[in-house]
Amino acid sequence: MSGLIPVLVLAVFVLVAVSFVVIFRQNHRTQVGREQAELTRTDDARAEARRWIDRLGTEVLSTSGTDAHSTDLVGQASARLTAATTHLGDATSPAQARTARDIALEGLHLMRDARRAMGQPDGAPIPAPEERA
């Protein structure tokens, strides 16, 4: 019986060690999965922002105002283009990429107002920037 105790202690130690290894691996996999999901969300938000920034860039570069008011609106939209591009370049989270998208949307709304001031059609629909609490 005295030879059985060290074997039982060793068996318990091995079981505890294996349990820790299994738990550690599972937690590691979960963490890697979360990090990958966050990267995917960030990439998706950056792509969405890039789409609106590119559209704004096209509109700003292809439109010039016909009077002081419309010229001012195009200038403001151009400033939003620069700001959105800068914000997107610095974005490391989905929220930061959405901020860049919202700045681009503001610029697109300014471009729509400039087209209206020049008597041109509104163009394609533009969503409203997200509300911030």
Q: Which residue has the higher pLDDT, 4 or 83?
A: 83
Alpha helices in the chain (DSSP H): 4-62, 68-90, 94-117
Average pLDDT of the residues of the chain = 91
Q: What is the mean pLDDT of residues 52-71?
A: 95
Whether 130 and 102 have beta carbons less than 8 Å apart is answered as yes
- pLDDT tens for each residue of 71-110: 999 999 999 999 999 999 999 999 999 999 999 999 999 9
Q: Which distant-in-sequence residues (6+ apart) come within 8 Å of 74 by Cβ?
A: 60, 63, 64, 65, 110, 111, 114
How far from each other are the two terminal CA atoms of the chain, in whole angstroms? 70
Domain extents in the chain: 4-117
Q: What is the pLDDT of residue 58?
A: 96
